[in-house]
């Protein structure tokens, strides 16, 4: 979810933003908010009759946790099958291959 401004936002603010930018329905936004709350990525604080939602888990931290979870769930924690799967679906460019070689060199245990 993109944050359009700093600080807590109401569900109505988020619905307005995501409806305009993504074309999402209010029920979709509220479902997303509920899922993010349960995952601990956002928090909700009561403000009268409404809730104010705030980011708890920054994007980089979320991406790291989701990446590890994906690799563990789908590839048994192994990176080679992950790369092989993506390479079988889409041809690797010379730039991709160069970047992968650099990563292997940087992270090898020789």
Same domain, 29 and 46: yes
- CATH number of the domain residue 48 falls in: 1.10.10.10
Tokens of 81: 């099958």
Three-class SS of residue 60? helix
Which pLDDT belongs to residue 7?
A: 82
Cα–Cα distance measured from residue 97 to residue 103, given in angstroms and rounded to the nearest whole number: 10
Tell me the pLDDT tens digit for each residue of 89-109.
998 899 999 999 999 899 887
Same-domain pairing of 29 and 68:
no
Q: Give the pair of three-digit tokens for residue 6.
A: 């700093």
Query: Residue 9 forms beta bridges with which residues?
Result: 53
- Structural domain range at position 43: 9-55
Phi-psi region of 36 (alpha: psi -120 to 50; beta: other; left: phi over 0): alpha
| 69, part of any domain | yes
Residue scoring higher pLDDT (4 or 100): 100
| Alpha carbons within 13 A on the beta-carbon side of 42 | 23
Q: Is the dihedral of CA 28, 33, 34, 39 positive or negative?
A: positive
For residues 11-16, give the mean pLDDT: 94
């Amino acid at each position: 979810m993109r944050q359009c401004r700093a600080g807590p936002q109401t569900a109505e603010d988020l619905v307005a933003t995501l409806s305009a930018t993504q074309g999402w329905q209010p029920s979709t936004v509220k479902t997303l908010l509920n899922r993010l709350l349960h995952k601990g990525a956002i928090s909700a604080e009561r403000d009268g009759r409404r809730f104010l939602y705030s980011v708890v888990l920054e994007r980089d931290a979320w991406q790291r946790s989701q990446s590890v979870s994906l690799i563990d769930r789908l590839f048994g924690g192994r990176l080679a099958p992950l790369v092989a799967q993506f390479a079988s679906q889409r041809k690797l460019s010379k730039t991709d291959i160069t970047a992968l070689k650099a990563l292997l060199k940087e992270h090898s245990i020789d």
